[in-house]
Amino acid sequence: MDFRMGPAATGLRGELRELVAEHVPPGYLGAFTDDPADLETAQKFCRLLAERGLLCPAWPAEYGGRDASHWEQTVVREEMWAHHEPRGAQYMGVNWVGPTIMRHGTAEQRRAHLPPIARGEVIWCQGFSEPDAGSDLASLRTAARRDGDGWVISGQKVWTSYATMAQWCFLLARTARLDRKQQGLTIFLVPMDAPGVEVRPIGTLMGPHHLNEVFLDDVRVGGGAVLGEVDAGWTVVREVLSFERVGIARYARCERLLQAAPRALGGAWDDLPGELRVRWARMLTHCRRARLLAYRVIATQHEGRVEPNDAAAYRIAVTRLDQESADVLAEMAEYAEPAEYAEPAEAAEAAWFRLEVEDHRRYSHASTVASGSIDVQRMLLARALLAAS
């Protein structure tokens, strides 16, 4: 399988790797650690990408992009995720908030929200999941009622990444009780500093900012806060989730670590059990499978179509890859003992590998529920296949 995307994408990939090497410190494991310097690194790097037109290159120039191909945007996703997402939380605005506003927003909403995202100046969070509505999102209870020309929103959201630092929330609320629970839902663009919005962090091993509760107590928004049609938000949500799931290129980090294993282990590579090397090779194959499924979704999106079932298939494959590769890498990391290396450079490489693998394994535990549980994705795909048979 030839995964090359052409000379423009190849040149962009090289440019991004040079920027990461120059501006992202060795040992960087993401923006949301206990070290404030990591967050500052991400904020500076995000602004650097924006200044060079590399944050959202596939966006139209009128919204802050440079009319590049979707494949160049894919290169940005892959290189950023492979290097611990040095854009920080900005990937959310670039990957799916912005594209959704382009497709469903009014001219005023596009003018107000898209340029700040393209400049790396604003952070969004996603107000979807609730205590009793996670995988079964359509069962949510957060409600919005009309109040003159605007709306009043009350309810609770949970597992809301970046809510403590976000300026805006892409919020789903119930606006009517109709025949099916998927009906009567509406999307609102809500400022996080609006009176009545309260954020409470949830402590986890994943670090600060990742998980929070958001309480909305009679939050008032204007009529211009509605994205798309009132009561028809579910159709938009299905698109959003497709963009979100393919926008996180988890396979890129898996492949980077798998490719680094022989170098990091050095002479210890020859001591690996044959069965473990076979599993390592299988994981590399599964990386390519996940990449191919992602490219299939991206190609349909480029044509203006959104296929949630293809996104579900990708989500299943990349989730399994995340966890299975983490297990293989963790076993390999036991052979990369820095103290056994005579050369300082080799010892540093082994230490880096062990740290990276531990971080990858910790995050992989959450991958079966993040962006929609894998069990729900299997049900969605099974229903689609049965309906087509």
d(CA 271, CA 266): 10
Sole residue written with tokens 């993401």: 30
Beta strands, E only, the chain: 124-127, 143-147, 150-158, 168-174, 185-191, 197-201, 212-221, 226-227
Q: What's phi and psi for 186, nearest 5 deg?
A: -140, 145
Q: List Cβ neighbours of 326 (8 Å cut-off, separation of 6 or more).
A: 357, 360, 361, 364
Q: Which residue among 244, 346, 349, 356 is the active-site one?
A: 244
Residues 209, 89 contacting (CB under 8 angstroms) = yes
3-class state of residue 215 by DSSP: strand
d(CA 296, CA 223): 37
Structure token pair of residue 86: 């040095």
- Rounded to whole angstroms, what are the CA distances from 347 to 8, 157, 270? 36, 45, 17
d(CA 374, CA 319): 7
H helices then E strands: how many in the chain?
12, 8
How many CB atoms are located within 10 Å of the residue 103 CB?
Answer: 16
- Rounded to whole angstroms, what are the CA distances from 343 to 346, 350, 356? 5, 11, 20
How many CB atoms are located within 10 Å of the residue 338 CB?
Answer: 16
How many CB atoms are located within 10 Å of the residue 1 CB?
Answer: 7
3-class state of residue 249 by DSSP: coil
Residues 87, 55 contacting (CB under 8 angstroms) = yes
- Catalytic residue flag (residue 79): no
Residues 357, 329 contacting (CB under 8 angstroms) = yes
Structure token pair of residue 172: 């789903």
Residues belonging to the active site: 244
